[in-house]
Amino acid sequence: MSGPPISFFLPRFPAPSETFIQAQAEGLIERGVDPLEIMSLGHGPRDRTDALVQRWGKSMDMRFAPVPKTLGVRILEMPWALTRPHAIEALNVAKFGDDAASFRLSIAAARWPDRGPPPRRIWLAHFGRWGRFACALRELGLIAGPIATVFHGKDMSAYLDKRNDNAYRHLFARGDLFLPISEFWKEKLIRLGADPSKIMVHRMGVDTSRFVATPRTLKPGEPVKFIGIGRMVEKKGFDDALAAFDIMRSKPNPPDATLTLIGDGPLREKMMRKAERRGLSDRVKFTGLLPHADVEKAIKDAHVFVLPSKTSKSGDMEGIPVALMEAMGTGMPVIATRHSGTPELVEHEVSGLLCAEGDREALAANMERLARMPERWAGMGAAAAAKVRADFDLNYWNDKLLERLTALGASTPPPVNASTSP
């Protein structure tokens, strides 16, 4: 092993909607962490797991302590779980909060694959609630070593809205390093009570080597092609994109334009019906999920990327959307909103246009502006690609991650008499 012993702690792996975690894990393997351990509370799709095993072999050691998703099933498992080590201690609600009350911690402890003194490793937990869970596992003696936690979006918004601002109190007291993906979330962590000296912004980047920045131009007689890619859920704001497109098309002498929305989700059928009612079926296309090659072709053929993210009614928020990074990496100007960390990626009037989240009239105005100003596309697209290369390059951030985790391991020596075996 040329890299330090590192374990990812995750609620589910591999998760189709969290490919950025897989990219991060593979980046550490490529940098000499061999094997990289993945410790997960749930199995992802079997075909994806098999593909990773085939690609990385013994370099990625995937292990699982399966915890049922539903409370009813966890209750049924509790009589068996309570016969296993640590499961009774894991019921301490005063110490472990809803991780104990939900029986998740007891089931995880009962199913934990290791017994005896745990080897010391550097632990990287994705999402705040699972960083807290990892700290609880360490208190139970099931894992050993420093814990770094990555904060993304939902864990800093909807999750806290359902509970309270003290939900991470245990994590702040016991966690060793906090890695929010944006300055926006860093400031919120500080407001919530996290020690600023333990906080470092860590971006979720993209592999910029995959992108060739191509200036967008409009051919004679060609419509302006707007495109949006992502899950059809409230926080992505595609319902606002459709409404804004309708507003733009309803004006006198509207620009010749189309809108393509790629992806699937609970709002897709509703938006399709709305487009049909508004007479937009010949202008708006809903593709559903597409193979990666087809998505890349659609991006290459489009002129302007649209992702008007917003806070959902449940409080759910984005981090910094990877889809925006990828579109910008291809040299495409973008239209987005001042939501979460997005302004840290998109500079208004430089790499794209921003407006307030949920403001459909302003969004329509921005779409019309870019539709009528194709001469600005090349400059905006070049600035967009340069921003992604400079600040959101995955290789840079994977180098940084290994550096930070190695430093964390060196700065937090094991307690006296603790196991230090690799």
- Where do runs of H (alpha helix) occur along 193-267? 238-250
- Where do runs of H (alpha helix) occur along 157-258? 158-162, 169-174, 183-192, 238-250
- Yes or no: domain 6-65+112-205+394-411 corresponds to CATH 3.40.50.2000: yes
Mean pLDDT of 357-362: 98
| Mean pLDDT value across the chain | 94
Residues 6+ apart with CB under 8 A from 258: 223, 224, 225, 226, 283, 284, 285
Phi, psi (5° rounding) for residue 214? -115, 120
What pLDDT score was predicted for residue 414?
67
Tens-place pLDDT, residues 92-109: 999 999 999 999 999 999
- For residue 357, what pLDDT band results from cuts at 50, 70 and 90? very high
Name the more confident of 267 and 115: 267
What pLDDT score was predicted for residue 418?
42
Which string of b and e fits 385-418 if b means at least 16 CB within 10 Å? bbbbbeebbbeebbeebbebbeebbeeeeeeeee
Tens-place pLDDT, residues 239-263: 999 999 999 999 999 999 999 999 9
Among the residue ranges 30-34, 305-309, 413-417, the one predicted with the least confidence is 413-417
pLDDT at 421 over 90: no
What pLDDT score was predicted for residue 257?
98
Are 341 and 184 a contacting pair, CB within 8 Å?
Answer: yes
Q: Tell me the CA end-to-end span of the chain in Å, nearest whole number.
A: 10
What pLDDT score was predicted for residue 1?
46
Are 34 and 2 a contacting pair, CB within 8 Å?
Answer: yes
Tens-place pLDDT, residues 50-82: 888 899 999 999 999 999 999 999 999 999 999
What pLDDT score was predicted for residue 36?
96
Are 5 and 32 a contacting pair, CB within 8 Å?
Answer: no
- For residue 164, what pLDDT band results from cuts at 50, 70 and 90? confident
Residues of the chain with CATH 3.40.50.2000: 6-65+112-205+394-411, 208-391
What pLDDT score was predicted for residue 417?
45
Query: Which DSSP state fits 320?
Result: S
Tens-place pLDDT, residues 191-245: 999 999 999 999 999 999 999 999 999 999 999 999 999 999 999 999 999 999 9
What pLDDT score was predicted for residue 412?
75
Tens-place pLDDT, residues 135-145: 999 999 999 99
Instruction: Pick one of 3.90.960.10, 3.40.50.2020, 3.40.50.2000, 3.30.1330.10 as the CATH number of 208-391.
Output: 3.40.50.2000
Could you give the strand order of the β-sheet that contains 352-355, starting from the edge strand earlier in sequence?
Answer: 284-288, 257-262, 224-229, 304-307, 334-337, 352-355
How far is the C-alpha of 129 from the C-alpha of 133, rounded, in Å? 6
How far is the C-alpha of 175 from the C-alpha of 400, rounded, in Å? 19
* Count of C-beta atoms within a 10 Å radius of residue 89: 16
Are 387 and 415 a contacting pair, CB within 8 Å?
Answer: no
Q: Which helix (H) or strand (E) holds 285?
A: strand 284-288
Tens-place pLDDT, residues 113-130: 987 889 999 999 999 999
